[in-house]
Structure 1
Amino acid sequence: MAFELPAAVGWLVLSLHTGLSLLCAWHALLTKREPRSALAWIGVTLLLPLGGPLLYLAFGVNRIRTRGLHGRPALPLEFGYEQAEDAEPAPPDVPAGAGGPGGPIARASGRISHRPCLPGNTAELLHNGEQAYPAMIEAIRSAERYIYLSTYIFGARGAARDLIDALKAAQRRGVTVCVLIDGLGQWYTAARARPLLKEAGVRVAEFLPLRLWPPSLHVNMRNHRKVLVVDGEVAFTGGMNIADYHCVAGGGRNRVIDLHLRLRGPVVGQMETVFAEDWHFATGQALPEPAPAGSSPGSASCRVITDGPNEDLDRLALVLLVAASAAQRRISIMTPYFLPSRELLGALQAAALRGVQVSVLLPGKNNLPYVHWATRNMLWELLQHGVEVRYQPPPFVHSKLLLIDEDYAQLGSANLDPRSLRLNFELNVELYDPALNTLLADHFATAWERSRPVTLTEISQRRLAVRTRDALCWLFSPYL
């Protein structure tokens, strides 16, 4: 005999689904900023019995506010967060071109980011784990007061273990050590740093940890920032996680090439403030305010730009649009994941059509093949308007770099895809430093010369099955 649910139970399930579906659809209607996103989520919640509302609650709801959360006092914004109401004058002896510290990109970025562009910094480029990790360990070993570290992935083997040991030694000698690891990113490595650090008494927090109770199912909205601040004197940021695969000299199969920055000067205070906000959000604990920045002989003017699904939403996207629109001679983009918004796509097309040299450098073999396939579905839109695209040979290049003319550079954790620019918490640094920007331009040019051009013919002659696969991946690009 077939098992039948009592009629009352059936009506209860139907009523629960109807009520929850209507509530979720109403929430999507009121909160989504794009009509396509709102319509898609409304369809999911109404058409999938119970599963639709559950998917929406897990993936579609943004519950994040990092300032003034649940009645907690918002962190003060006085250390480098002043609204840049007026154009910022260029420092002496620095040309105020379109991408210079007194140019239109800097003025717009100040208004968008609510942070001033600070002169008097030194910025040093670090390649891969071979250069970045020893520099970071040296800074940790010299710490006298505090160490603040935030990362997406923190492994516990090879070079990563050396960094763990340096943090533990700092804790033993009385330095305040605070480590913030993303709640999802920490599971990307089999050997994890968090248990080893906690055993040593290091203050370790997870950013939005995944758990069933109390419910915390934020698969999206991850903290993708990479920040190390030591004593308010030196800071590191860029695209590198802390894992042994960033050491590429050994020739391992899964090597990852990347760039990082070592910074000194007033911009360190801006980075420290960002860490303090993230730490407060994750733990409810307030860290001491950064000390006023001291004088520095550095020639770099710098600014931190944060982005995330909170009050910082769309800041990086807006700065990128301004930068592409203001470029006069060249736009150089190096990124591992390239799924630009329609607005940024149009800005790059328009720049190429008005004679700007637009160059996009992507990895030839991606660690996320479905992102690579989705990108190939839209490359023809750039190629047909004169944008040049090339694929870098292996190993996988994870660097994120933007160069505008000879004046402006941006380097950090953000990729040019919806996940970085809409869902993740990201941090990039603007760099106005002729010497460093020349070094970055040379690095880009060297990588460009050894890379393979992508042609419109190659893209248009893909087999039908491949085009279908690429288009299906592109269809889900907002969630990749």
Structure 2
Amino acid sequence: MNIAVEHIATDQPPDEAKARDLDYGWQSGNQVQLLENGEAYFPRVFDAMRAAQREILLETFILFEDKVGHELQGILIEAAQRGVKVVVSLDGFGCGELSAAFLAALADAGVMVQMFDPASKTLGIRTNWFRRLHRKIVVVDAEVAFIGGINFSADHLGDFGPEVKQDYSVQVTGPAVADLHHFALAQSGRQVRTRRGWRRRQQRPSPWATDSGEGLVRLIYRDNLQHRDDIEEAYIYALSKAKKRAVIANAYFFPGYRLLREIRNAARRGVQVQLIMQGQPDVLLAKLAARMLYDYLLKDGVVIHEYCQRPLHGKVALVDDDWSTVGSSNLDPLSLALNLEANVLIRDRAFNQQLYDSLETLSKNHCQVIPAKQKPRLWLWRLTVGFLVFHVMRHFPALTGWLPAHKPRLKPFESQAHD
């Protein structure tokens, strides 16, 4: 039996006009709820899918054939069989181990399965390391959306064991769901209508809303075309506005110099700046890279915590009393210069406080504080090495024509499934 799995190129809108149409402004009147770890996320998103009447759009970096993956598969099959349009977009690296039988069961039920940059192993080695659809987005009936860092895998549940991940997502209802829906449709290659009033790039709204009302939400994302730096710029701009506090919890922390400088400058002018990093990393290199930057930040008053209870997978931040961001983007070269990512910016005091309380619990109960050295050693050398490594990674795709900076085309391919 043959199943068709589309190869999607979500970093290439078909024309410049469409790229401009994907600039999103602030939307007011939304309800945003923080979902911490799989225990909160999976029941909420699965219930929404079970109640779907028209459409389910799903993007994820990782989908495993474990208890979470099989439950998701069953829900999507049941939805498709009752007439719901279901589009599932998967990353070819993160979902590269899915069996043909697993995909065939979805396709046979009418689920449209798409794979971003699929590649078979060469001499037993995966070769698609640097092309990643890293977003985690679900939109149901254009009425409720979920976005964050949680993949569809059992390692986000507490009973997984010591390697269970600490992570965050949000549920959004209200006017901003229309933007998330439009974005998910456009990135999956589906036909979308252009909404009047969306601003062009030269009029792109500020990462800091002019109003400080409740329920303000804005979708931001990065691709390898006109939105390469949007998420990074949002962090930089928000930190430049910080007056009281800033908390960043990020799994893979190795940002460029401009963002590092803004973190340091905020601390210098009296902002209480706190970073929560991995102390028990799932990738040892991530911890080593982050520690190269510690001296540079500590000497100016930044407080650094390492979360040691389990691997930290979150990508969240807050500034002062009402600005927050949750999404898929780490603060490392892969996310800031290569991956396809998406975050939401949120201006809402209640949500900000909820996120702050969660992160404060982590920092007080499950983290170790990194002491500031009176005479930091080799901090300039570490910063220089970090700067060079980051910018080599940042420009690597432009220097090599086969990485995400190229312009791949939408084309289907055939995969053999079991009978």
Count of aligned residue pairs for this structure pair: 364
Structure 1 unaligned spans of 5+: 1-62, 82-113, 293-297, 463-467
Match of 2:132 among 222, 247, 253: 222
CA distance in 1, matches of 2:165, 2:98: 14
Query: What residue in structure 1 maps to residue 145 of structure 2?
Result: 235
Relative contact order, higher structure (CA 8 A, sep 6+): 2
CA distance in 1, matches of 2:43, 2:111: 21
Contact 2:49 2:76 in 1 (8 A): yes
Residue 139 in structure 1 maps to residue 48 in structure 2: yes
CA distance in 1, matches of 2:173, 2:162: 35
Residue 244 in structure 1 maps to residue 154 in structure 2: yes
Query: What residue in structure 2 maps to residue 167 of structure 1?
Result: 76
Which amino acid is the alignment partner of residue 292 of structure 2? N
Query: What residue in structure 1 maps to residue 14 of structure 2?
Result: 68
| 453 and 189 in structure 1: CA distance in 2 versus 1, 3 angstrom threshold | farther
Contact 1:389 1:454 in 2 (8 A): yes
Q: Deviations over 1:349-398 (max 9, x none)?
A: 11111111110001211111012111111211001111110111221121
CA distance in 2, matches of 1:460, 1:142: 56
Q: Give the drift of 1:461.
A: 7.6
Residue 286 in structure 1 maps to residue 286 in structure 2: no
Which amino acid is the alignment partner of residue 381 of structure 1? Y
CA distance in 1, matches of 2:64, 2:101: 5
CA distance in 1, matches of 2:237, 2:281: 28
Q: Give the drift of 1:308.
A: 1.9
Query: What residue in structure 2 maps to residue 84 of structure 1?
Result: none
CA distance in 2, matches of 1:412, 1:370: 22
Q: Give the drift of 1:457.
A: 3.5
Match of 1:411 among 315, 326, 332: 326
Contact 1:155 1:193 in 2 (8 A): no
Contact 2:216 2:346 in 1 (8 A): yes
Query: What residue in structure 1 maps to residue 250 of structure 2?
Result: 335
3-state SS, counterpart of residue 143 of structure 1: coil
Contact 1:303 1:431 in 2 (8 A): yes
Which amino acid is the alignment partner of residue 229 of structure 1? V
Contact 2:35 2:171 in 1 (8 A): yes
| 471 and 186 in structure 1: CA distance in 2 versus 1, 3 angstrom threshold | farther
RMSD: 3.2
3-state SS, counterpart of residue 119 of structure 1: coil
Q: Give the drift of 1:323.
A: 0.9
Contact 2:256 2:387 in 1 (8 A): no
| 133 and 289 in structure 1: CA distance in 2 versus 1, 3 angstrom threshold | farther
Contact 1:330 1:405 in 2 (8 A): yes
Q: Give the drift of 1:456.
A: 3.0
Which amino acid is the alignment partner of residue 373 of structure 2? T
Query: What residue in structure 2 maps to residue 303 of structure 1?
Result: 218
Match of 1:396 among 299, 311, 316: 311
TM-score (norm: length of structure 2): 0.79
| 459 and 401 in structure 1: CA distance in 2 versus 1, 3 angstrom threshold | farther
Query: What residue in structure 2 maps to residue 312 of structure 1?
Result: 227
CA distance in 2, matches of 1:140, 1:164: 11
Q: Give the drift of 1:330.
A: 1.0
CA distance in 2, matches of 1:237, 1:162: 19
Residue 148 in structure 1 maps to residue 57 in structure 2: yes
3-state SS, counterpart of residue 361 of structure 2: helix
| 472 and 434 in structure 1: CA distance in 2 versus 1, 3 angstrom threshold | closer
Structure 2 unaligned spans of 5+: 1-8, 198-212, 395-419
Query: What residue in structure 2 maps to residue 439 of structure 1?
Result: 354
Match of 2:38 among 129, 132, 150: 129
Q: Give the drift of 1:322.
A: 0.9
Q: Give the drift of 1:118.
A: 0.5
Which amino acid is the alignment partner of residue 301 of structure 1? L
CA distance in 2, matches of 1:474, 1:368: 20
- Report sequence identity in percent: 30
Contact 1:245 1:256 in 2 (8 A): yes
TM-score (norm: length of structure 1): 0.69
CA distance in 2, matches of 1:320, 1:163: 33
Q: Deviations over 1:113-162 (max 9, x none)?
A: x3221111111111111111111111111111110000001112112211
Contact 2:257 2:387 in 1 (8 A): no
3-state SS, counterpart of residue 186 of structure 1: coil
